[in-house]
Amino acid sequence: MIDLDHERKAWFTEAADIETSSDDYARRFGGKVGEWMLKVQERIVLESLRQPGISTVLDVGGGHGQLAAPLCRDGFALTVVGSADSCRRNLANMIDAGMCKFQVADLLRLPFPARSFDAVICFRLVPHCERWQTLIAELCRVARYLAVVDYPTSQSVNCAAPRLFNLKKRLEGNTRSFRLFRHQEIAEVFSENNFSIAARTGQFFLPMVLHRMLKCRGLSAWLEEKFQRCGLTQRWGSPVIIKAVRK
């Protein structure tokens, strides 16, 4: 017998981009601290994509809109795919202006032929996806050259995430549970799909929830610069952004 509650739960976790496309989620990155966090992410992603031969980009689950504007501004031909039509809301002005395209689809069965896009990116989705291995396999299938993905890692100060979860929930209000990954397990799934990790970059040494608590962009940026210079962020930072290239 099919467990309908389990089926609904599984669908929701695979369609986690509906939540990340919401106004509630956008408020987590509001204010000066949130803007700074997104700038750190933007810089790493653009550096990963700026190479010869990369012009078309698919953003899987990118209805949050965190990367759409920077990618279009940088001249990439962008397509965003979301689990529901509501995921286009943050991108409506860009879509209407012809700056990017949007399509509703099952993120675990993308409606594109193999190697349809030069690069595929996927942010704020992998740690909330129950079948994350299938998601990564789909990213690799439709990527011609490379994939850029983020994930939180247990090989960081985030190993304390379970103990900080209640604090995070009180601060953000609608925090969802998420999975922490070891670098090797992510690399192994990419390898199984004929991709290798070309770069791995930690974004922040301190957990993002602590920066939100500090509410001081200048202090957070200063602290993270010190950690970066000491090599702590690269070794122990999280979330991690990886650049995986086709073998």
Residue 156 placed within a domain: no
Cα dihedral 119, 125, 131, 133 sign: positive
Range of the domain at 20: 4-151+178-202+238-246
3-state helix, strand, coil in the chain (%, to 5): 50, 20, 30
pLDDT in tens, the chain (247 residues): 333 333 334 334 457 899 999 998 999 899 999 999 999 999 999 999 999 999 999 999 999 999 999 999 999 999 999 999 999 999 999 999 999 999 999 999 999 999 999 999 999 999 999 999 999 999 999 999 999 999 999 888 766 555 555 555 555 555 556 789 999 999 999 999 999 999 999 999 998 988 999 999 999 999 999 999 999 999 999 999 999 999 9
Cβ atoms of 82 and 50 within 8 Å: the answer is no
Residue 161 placed within a domain: no
Report the alpha-carbon angle 170-152-130, nearest 5: 90
Locate 60 and state its tokens.
């899987």
Burial of 162 (0-12, 13-18, 19+ CB in 10 A): exposed
Locate 110 and state its tokens.
């993308």
User: What's the structural domain count of the chain?
Assistant: 1
Residue 43 placed within a domain: yes
Which pTM does this prediction carry? 0.87
Residue 168 placed within a domain: no
Q: Any idea what the CATH number is for the domain that residue 119 is in?
A: 3.40.50.150
Cβ-count burial 82-117 (b if 16+ within 10 Å, e if not): bbeeebbebbeebeeeebbebeeeebbebebeeebb
Residue 220 placed within a domain: no
DSSP SS3 for 243: strand
Residue 172 placed within a domain: no
CA atoms within 13 A on the CB side of 232: 12
Q: What are phi and psi of 110, to 5 degrees?
A: -65, 135
- What does DSSP assign to residue 102? E
- Edge-first strand listing for the sheet containing 240-246: 100-104, 77-82, 56-60, 117-122, 143-151, 240-246, 195-202
Residue 228 placed within a domain: no
Residue 218 placed within a domain: no
